[in-house]
Amino acid sequence: MPRGPRLDAPGTLHHVMVRGIEGRPIFRDDRDRDDFVGRLAAQAQAGGLIVYAWALLPNHAHLLVRTGRMPLARGMRSLLTGYAGAFNRRHRRRGHLFQNRYKSIVVEEEPYLLALTRYIHLNPLRAKVVPDLGALERYPWGGHSALLGHVPRPWHALAAVLGQFAGTRREARRRYRAFVADGVSQGRQPDLIGGGLRRSAGGWETLATLRRGRERWAFDERILGSGAFVERVLKEAAPPPGGIAVAGRSLPALIAQIAAACGVHPAEIQSGSRRRPAARARAAVAAVAVTRLGLSAARVAKALGVSAVAIFQAIDRGLAELRTRGLDPDRLAKGIIRQVK
C-alpha cells in the first residue's frame, strides 16, 4: 500500500518514532546517544522544533515535538541523516541505519500532550532500560530527567510542560512526578499510537493539507484522536472565509480585541515589550493568528515586534492564557473575520 503524504504545517504537534532497520540498535553507546541529543538540541535552539518529550531506547527513539519555522520533514532529515552518517563512520559500517522513514502522528493537543509526555518518558522503564522510577529520574537519555531538573537541558520546553501542572516550578515538578508515577500501571497504550481523525494545533493550513491528501476521514493512522471529531474537521477543513487575505486584515482587529481583554494598549503588544501583561496578550494573539487564522509566524512576528521563533514558543502560553480568560480561540477568530469582511 502506498504511503500517505506527510501531515504538517507550522505549529503542528507531532509524535515521532524512529526505529533501527530490522530492529537493530541505533544507539550502541553513550557517545552515540550524546551525538543524537546534541543534534536534537541544535534543531530546538534554531527554532526548527519545540521539544516537549523524548526518550532514547537501544533500537528506537520517541519524540513529541511541535514544528517551528521549518517543516518537520526538513528538520528530521537534518537530524537523522546527519546522525546516521556519523554513526556509520564511528562504527565503520555502511547502509541504512533506520527502518524505512520515521513515523509521525499529528496530535490533538488536548488531552494528548500530557498523556503522550508521560507515555514517552515511561518508555525506558517499560523497556527495562532502567529498573525503577528513581533510576528513570536520573536517566540522562530522556526528557523526564530534564523536567525534574536532574539533567540540564535548556532547549527542552520545560515551562510549557510544567506550566500545565502548577504556577511554581517546585510544585509543578511534584505534581508532574506523581502524574508519571500514576501511569506506570497503564503499561503499553496502543490508543496513543494513531487512530481517529483529530485536528492538531496546526490550524487552517494543517486542515488544508488534510484535504489535499486522500485520507480516510473516519480513521487515519497518522492522526491521534477520536473519530467523532471527523464532522468538526470537515466543517473546518476549508480556509477562513475570504482566504488568507481576509485573515491578514483581521490581525489589527485581533490585537485590539485581545488588548482590551488583557487590559493593555495595542501598541504595547506590538512593541515587543517584555512586561508580563503585554507578553501574555502577545502570546494570545500569536496563538490565534497562527493556529486559527493560518497566518505565517513571520507575518505575525513582524506585526508584534518579535522573532518568528518567539511566536512559535508563545503558542502554548497563548492558548493557556485564552483558556484562563474564558476566550474560545475558534469563536474569537471567526468573529473577527466576520467583523473585517
C-alpha dist (Å) from residue 62 to 41, 99, 193, 218: 15, 14, 11, 26
CATH class given for the domain over 240-340: mainly alpha
pLDDT in tens, the chain (341 residues): 344 444 555 677 889 999 999 999 999 999 999 999 999 999 998 888 899 999 999 999 999 998 876 778 888 888 999 999 999 999 999 999 998 778 888 777 777 889 999 999 999 999 999 999 999 999 999 999 999 999 999 999 999 999 999 989 999 999 999 999 999 987 666 556 544 333 333 344 444 444 444 333 334 445 555 544 334 433 443 445 555 555 567 888 899 999 999 999 999 999 888 889 999 999 999 988 887 777 777 788 888 988 877 887 788 789 889 988 998 888 888 888 777 76
Q: Check residue 246 and give its pLDDT.
A: 58
The helices-and-strands tally (H runs, E runs) of the chain is: 17, 5
Question: At residue 177, what are phi and psi to the nearest 5 degrees?
Answer: -60, -45
Q: Check residue 159 and give its pLDDT.
A: 92
Q: Check residue 248 and give its pLDDT.
A: 64
Q: Check residue 220 and give its pLDDT.
A: 43
| CATH topology (fold) of 13-192 | Alpha-Beta Plaits (3.30.70)
Kind of pairing, strands 223-224 and 103-107?
Answer: parallel
My answer on whether omega of the bond before 140 falls inside 30° of 0, hence cis, is: no
> Can you spell out the DSSP letters for 37-79?
HHHHHHHHHTTSEEEEEEEEETTEEEEEEEE-SS-HHHHHHHH
Are 106 and 64 in contact by the 8 Å Cβ rule? The answer is no
H helix or E strand, kind and range, residue 243: helix 243-249
Q: Check residue 163 and give its pLDDT.
A: 93
Which residues face 195 on adjacent strands? Answer: 220
pTM (predicted TM-score): 0.63
Q: Among all chains, which residue has been given the C-alpha cell 489535499?
A: 212
- Helix 276-291, helix 329-340: angle, nearest 10: 80
Q: Check residue 92 and give its pLDDT.
A: 94
Which sequence spans correspond to the domains of the chain?
A: 13-192, 240-340
C-alpha dist (Å) from residue 204 to 136, 174, 176, 195, 251: 39, 37, 32, 21, 15
